[in-house]
Structures are given as structure tokens and as C-alpha cells.
Amino acid sequence: MSENYFKKYPSKDGFYKEYGGAFLPPALEEEMNKITDAYYAISKSHNFISELRSIRKHYQGRPTPVYYCNRLSDKYGGRIYLKREDLNHSGAHKLNHCMGEALLAKYMGKKKLIAETGAGQHGVALATAAAYFGLECEIHMGEVDIAKEHPNVVRMEILGAKVVPVSKGLKTLKEAVDSAFEAYVQDPVTSIYCIGSVVGPHPFPMMVRDFQHVVGVEAREQFFDMTGEMPDNVVACVGGGSNAMGIFSGFMEDEDVDLYGVEPGGRSMNTGDHAATMMQGKPGLIHGFKCYLLQDDEGNPSPVYSVASGLDYPGVGPEHSMLKDIGRVNYDMVTDKEAIDAFFELSRLEGIIPALESAHAVAYAFKLAQKDPRRSVLVNLSGRGDKDIDFVVEQYGKDYGIG
Amino acid sequence: MKKLISLFKQKRNLLSVYFTAGFPELNSTVPILKALEEGGADFVEIGMPYSDPLADGPVIQNSSSRALTNGMSLKVLFEQLKDIKQQVSIPLILMGYLNPVLKFGFNAFIERCKETGISGLIIPDLPYETYIEKYEPVFARNKISNIFLITPQTPKQRILNLDQASTSFLYMVSSAAVTGTRQGLSKRQIKYFKRINSMKLSTPRMVGFGISNHETFKEVCQYAHGAIVGSAFIKHLENYGHDQEAIINFVKNLKTGEQTDI
């Protein structure tokens, strides 16, 4: 990895080798150019950086700790550590980029934040940021996810956001993105689209990565402080890939650190039963950018599924797509069943209820620890599981002695 | 492409109609094209349905998803259009998103367009830079015109570049919003049309998005070479299906303002 990785990727036009870019109708193209210009001009300014750092410390409660899992490590062998993004204010890593995006929106004079949400974590984080800055907030969410992630819907509403139900298609994340784009195009002047991951047209994948970079920077320093060495493995779940880009970016140039992105294997490898984009997809375009994409023979995105609402997206971040091709990150997957097992294991052995998304990374950490107990594993525990408890108990409670 | 260029040289007040291939029925495509020609449409844009469009309003999106459910695809569309040269003589343009075209194979797609007799393409999410860098020669070689969109927000220099790169006409999106039906022209739209006219571009312009009746069509024609009707026609198809007479009357009414009961 060359030392100027972050200067090299993305290119001026937002490309990570062949991936990324901005494939947009002109109405959106102009707005993205304005956001890109504003991002470069504003986010590197002294005032912006000072304000964001102050917010992170006093409002979000950063840095979040790195925690050594004693009982899990005993059971599975090896040394398992968690980067506790579940302790970030509002319960997930999402607030890291939401505060950045909302602060940028404030500097740009925008009045309204628009976004999609899958599991509701990005929606809650953006609603939080909107309340903090006194901006309007409109969150688009698939009806299936609204039913499944009810507590997060209530949280968004309590925070003053408007939740727009999306009833098209499979009524999940992809349709929510379509709907949010549609709302944004109606009024791109006073509103801004705050995309929820390292996806979408340039500059979003870069912007969200840069705002999430803090996770990797902190984790690297904390892990070294605790152990005197670098972790051997770093693991994160990948839907769009924001938490993974955050933690990976801290270790990009440490070539001895192996990076693992974990995709949702769902119920089976049949089309529509998983969202393992990197494992099964082919390069294509979705939502204005190029990436690995689960798509049919006609180029329409395929239906996707995962027990974790934040992971069921047929595309993936362009930077992840490149990191797969150049072999810097290993992408693998974990099934629904393995993720649910990990959800209960972490809850019962460590007293930490993880988000179902993050449980995918935890499940993979068990595999790595069992494979080679001498090698340490650092997991990005991207979010807490409060939002998932009703769903999990209803669907899987019996198997784990509940109800 | 020749047909399209000479049309712009010979006529003004052009009416172009957009519809989504495979809507309302899978096999509506050819009957609709024939009726549009008979009704007096000067050229036609055939939408290639895609599941996740970023620039279409609800009416067109809905027609696309129904067309996909009906089984429409690029392969089916080219099969339906294979003898269209013998059946319809007005210029035909295909409009759709980039990913299905890439999946088909860009060069194969353009060659197939040429065989079919397609005059031009509108691919809203194909960036100008990518077109210039990668695709301009294959368009030129096959004599297919690539049609660019401009919006009220498009910067002046960009418009000049698009004017240079255009081979038939520029598609003026009349508002920043996605496609849909609006009533009449606003002062802001008129100001925008006048501003573009004052640039003395060498490429003729068509105005799209928001034209649903003869009055607006006539009004728009004062500022541009003609207008494109999309959502209003899709709504018509939703209500009346692909009935030939009804389509002919719809087009006549738009062009001339003559009311016919349907």
C-alpha cells in the first residue's frame, strides 16, 4: 500500500480505480459538484475541524473504548477485542458521518436533511444531528424495515424527524434510497441528501469514509496502547460498508494487519436470499456509482435479503470494490443463523447486546479465533442491538430459551 | 441520425412523445408507435424500463416497473422493433439508464440500434466526460446521435461544451424537479428559456418535463424548436390502454388543440 493512499483514492472525479464516479442525470450532477466543492473548501477549514472535534468529544462521547472480551476469548480461543462504536452517542458509528454531513449542511446554508435508512441507525443518527443543528429532517424507510425496527422509528419521531414509509418493491433499503433521491431531486437547493454509507455518487463515498476515519485512527492507537502491537486481524460487517471503511482506513498502510469485510449470507445462496454483493456480484451501476452489484441479466438490481436490515443492499461501497480487486481486504460472509448465534453469545458472555449487523462481524471473529488462536482479532462493534430485541425474541427467542 | 437532423432543419413546433416500452402491455410498443405517427408526432422517445431510475417522476417510474413485470427487456424490445423501419418512418430515439446498456454490451447495443434504425439515444446518467472519453467514436461510427440534457442549473460553460458535442438536439429539462405533469409555464421557466436562447447555440433545443396540453405546448414552442410530452401520455395509456384511435386523438389534440371525444 503506497503511503499516499488517501491522496490517491478517490481520483479527482471520484474513482477508486474503475469503481465509484458519479453517473447521474444533470439535475443531480450539478448538485453533487456543489457538494464536492463545498466539502473540499469547508471540511478542511480550521473552524470546521475544531467544531467537529469538539462535537465528537463533548456530544458524541468519543473516543469510544477498545474492549478485550475475556469470556469470549476463553471460549473461542485467541484474543478478541471490540471497538465499541455501540457506545457512540445514538448507539452506532453512524453519528460520526451524520454530524459531519450536518455540519457541512449548516455551513452550506441548507435547511433540510434528507436520507434513507435500513435498520434505522442512520436515520436515528441523522435525526439526532438535525436536532443538534436545528435543521429539518426527512427519513425514507421501507415498510418492511419500519415494522422490523419499530424502536428506531419511534426514536426518529421523538427526535423530530419525519419518517416517510416506502411501499415500492421489496420495501427495504434499496427502495428507500430510490425514494430519498426522488425527494431530494425535488428540492436540491434548500435540502441536502445525507447518504447513510460509503455508497452513492462522488463525493459521498469519500466524505463518509473521511468522517468515519476517526474510528480507525482511535482503534489503532488504543489497540497499540493496550497490547504494544498492531492487531493481526480487523473485522467489520459490510452492507454499504461505512463502519468497515472507518476502521479499515486506520490500518490501510499496516500491511501486516489482515482486514476482513463480512457480508450477509442470509438464508441461502439463492438469488433473493442473501446480500453477499462481493461474493456473488458483478461490476455494475446503481444509485449513480459503479461497484460490485447483485444484478440480473438485464442489469436491474437483484432482490436481496438479510436478517440485518442495515446489510441488505445489492451494491456496496466503490472503495470496498477496489479493495477486493487489489486484494487488500478479504471479503467473506456469515449466515443469518451464525449472526443470531453471535448475537446471543456476545450478550450472554460479555453483557453486550450487539446490533444484528455487527453480530455478523462478531460471528466471523469467532471463526478467525478458532482457526488461529495465536492471532488477535479486533472487531468493529458498529452498533448496539436495542433496536433488534423485539424482532429477535419473536423470531428466534424459543431457540435460545426465551418465551 | 440523418432523419432526425433533417427534421430539425425542415420543421418547427416539433412534438415528440415519450412512452415506456412494454407498458401498458408487453406488446403495446409497435401499436403505440404506429398510432403516434398517425396522430402526427414528429418523433418518438421509447423508454427502456429500468428498476431504479434517478430522474423519473412517479408516473414514469410506475410505468417502468409495470413494463418490467410484463417481461420487457432490451432483448425483447429489439425483437419487437426488428421490422419497425418498414412500419414507421418518423425518427425513433431510445431513452434509458446506463447499467442495462452496459450489461447488454455498449458497442453491441449501439450496433443493434443502428440495425434497428434508431436515430438517437438519451442516457441521462451517462456523464458527458465519460461519453467524450469512451463512447463518442462508437456513436459517430454508427451514426447514432447522443442527446444531452440541460437544466436551469447547468453552468454556461457546460452548456457550450454540450452544444459543441451535440449532433442533433439538446433536451432542456424545464425545471430542476424530476419528470412529471405541471400546469402552464412559470416566469422562472420563461426566463430560463430566454437565457438559453440568448446564448445563440448552434444546436436546436427541445423542452421536456411538464407539458400536458396544447396551450403549454404552443407556449413552449415560442422559446424552443419543440416540446416533449411524457408523463401526460403515460397517464393517457394508463386510462385508455393502447387503443389506436384514442392515441391518435391525444396527439392531434396536443398539436392542434382540437378536442375529440374519446
CB contact under 8 A, A287 and B52: yes
- The DSSP symbol for B20 reads E
Q: Are A238 and A261 in contact (CB under 8 A)?
A: yes
Residue B182: predicted pLDDT:
55
Q: Is position B158 within any domain?
A: no
Chain B residues closer than 8 Å to A291 by CB: none
Three-state secondary structure of chain A: CCCCHHHHCCCCCCEECCEECCCCCHHHHHHHHHHHHHHHHHCCCHHHHHHHHHHHHHHHCCCCCEEECHHHHHHHCCEEEEEEHHHCCCCECHHHHHHHHHHHHHHCCCCEEEEEECCCHHHHHHHHHHHHHCCEEEEEEEHHHHHHCHHHHHHHHHCCCEEEEECCCCCCHHHHHHHHHHHHHHCCCCEEECCCCCCCCCCHHHHHHHHHHHHHHHHHHHHHHHHCCCCCEEEEECCCCHHHHHHHHHHCCCCCCEEEEEEEEECCCCCCCCCCHHHHCEEEEECCEEEEECECCCCCECCCCCCCCCCCCCCCCHHHHHHHHCCCEEEEEEEHHHHHHHHHHHHHHHCCCECHHHHHHHHHHHHHHHHCCCCEEEEEECEECHHHHHHHHHHHHHHHCCC
Q: Which of B42, B45, B115, B258 is catalytic?
A: B45
| Residue A355 and residue A337 share a domain | yes
State the pairing for strand pair B145-146/B120-122. Answer: parallel
The more confidently predicted of residues A199 and B184 is: A199
CB contact under 8 A, A300 and B176: no
Element holding B215 (H helix, E strand): helix B214-221
| Residue A66 and residue A109 share a domain | no
Residue B177: predicted pLDDT:
52
Q: Is position B58 within any domain?
A: yes
- CA distance linking residue A195 with residue A1, whole number of Å: 28
| Residue A176 and residue A67 share a domain | no
| Residue A263 and residue A142 share a domain | no
Q: Is position A355 within any domain?
A: yes
- CA distance linking residue A120 with residue A106, whole number of Å: 23
User: Could you say which of A185, A204, A223 is where a domain stops?
Assistant: A204
Q: Is position A12 within any domain?
A: no
| Residue A44 and residue A183 share a domain | yes
Confidence bin at A130 (pLDDT 50/70/90): very high
User: Could you say which of A145, A178, A204 is where a domain stops?
Assistant: A204
Residue-wise pLDDT tens digits, B50-67: 998 887 778 898 999 999
Mean pLDDT over residues A312-333, rounded? 97
Closest residue, chain A, to B122 (C-alpha): A25
Q: Is position A16 within any domain?
A: no
Residue-wise pLDDT tens digits, A145-174: 999 889 999 999 999 999 999 998 889 998
Give the CATH number, domain containing residue A356: 3.40.50.1100
Question: Which single residue is written with the C-alpha cell 467489520?
Answer: A236
| Residue A142 and residue A252 share a domain | no
| Residue A373 and residue A287 share a domain | yes
Residue-wise pLDDT tens digits, A186-236: 888 899 999 999 999 999 999 999 999 999 999 999 999 999 999 999 999
- B124, three cell numbers: 441521462
User: Could you say which of A204, A239, A261 is where a domain stops?
Assistant: A204
Among A4-8, A365-369, B21-25, B209-213, the range scoring the smallest mean pLDDT is: B209-213
Q: Is position B72 within any domain?
A: yes
Mean pLDDT over residues A371-383, rounded? 97
Question: Which single residue is written with the C-alpha cell 454499504?
Answer: A240
B38 is an active site residue: no
ipTM for this prediction = 0.91
Write the residue in A25, A188, A189 that is nearest to B149 by C-beta: A25
pLDDT at B262 over 80: no
* Cα-based angle A329, A331, A332 (whole degrees, multiple of 5): 150
Chain B residues closer than 8 Å to A301 by CB: 51-52
Q: Burial letters for A50-84: b for 16+ Cβ neighbours within 10 Å, e otherwise?
A: eebeebbeeebebbbebbebeebbeebbbbbbbbb
Structural domain total, chain A: 2
Among A76-80, A263-267, B183-187, the range scoring the smallest mean pLDDT is: B183-187
| Residue A72 and residue A179 share a domain | no
Q: Is position B160 within any domain?
A: no
Q: Is position A1 within any domain?
A: no
**Residue A285 C-alpha, separation from nearest chain B C-alpha, in angstroms:** 5
Closest residue, chain A, to B174 (C-alpha): A27
Give the CATH number, domain containing residue B37: 3.20.20.70
Arithmetic mean of pLDDT over chain B? 93
Among A266-275, B2-11, B50-59, B213-222, the range scoring the smallest mean pLDDT is: B50-59
The whole domain housing A160 covers 24-57+94-204
Q: Is position B18 within any domain?
A: yes
Closest residue, chain A, to B53 (C-alpha): A178
Q: Is position A107 within any domain?
A: yes
The whole domain housing B31 covers 13-146+212-256
pLDDT at B209 over 80: no
Structural domain total, chain B: 1
CB contact under 8 A, A185 and B55: yes
| Residue A195 and residue A66 share a domain | no
pLDDT at B88 over 50: yes
| Residue A373 and residue A244 share a domain | yes
Chain A interface residues (partner B, CB cutoff 8 A): 13, 21-31, 168-169, 174, 178, 181-182, 185-186, 188-189, 284-288, 293, 295, 297-301
Chain B residues closer than 8 Å to A181 by CB: 54
Closest residue, chain B, to A176 (C-alpha): B52
- A76, three cell numbers: 473461542
pLDDT at B178 over 50: no
B37 is an active site residue: no
pLDDT at B242 over 90: yes
**Window 129-158 of B, Cβ < 8 Å to A:** 129-130, 148-151, 153-155
Catalytic sites of A, residue numbers: 69, 93
Confidence bin at B175 (pLDDT 50/70/90): low
